[in-house]
A and B are shown apart, each in its own frame.
Chain A
Amino acid sequence: GAGVSQSPRYKVTKRGQDVALRCDPISGHVSLYWYRQALGQGPEFLTYFNYEAQQDKSGLPNDRFSAERPEGSISTLTIQRTEQRDSAMYRCASSSTGGDGYTFGSGTRLTVV
Chain B
Amino acid sequence: LAKTTQPISMDSYEGQEVNITCSHNNIATNDYITWYQQFPSQGPRFIIQGYKTKVTNEVASLFIPADRKSSTLSLPRVSLSDTAVYYCLVGGLTGGGNKLTFGTGTQLKVEL
Contact = CB atoms under 8 A, between A and B. Distances in A.
Q: Do A and B come from one complex?
A: yes
A100 B94 contact: yes
Nearest to A30: B97
Interface string B38-50: 0000111110010
B103 interface: yes
Given A42-B105, A45-B101, A99 B43 contact: no
Interface residues of A, number: 31
A33 B94 CA distance: 11
Interface residues of B, number: 23
A80 interface: no
B99 A33 contact: yes
B87 interface: yes
B93 A48 contact: no
Interface of B: 32, 34, 36, 42-46, 49, 85, 87, 93-97, 99-105
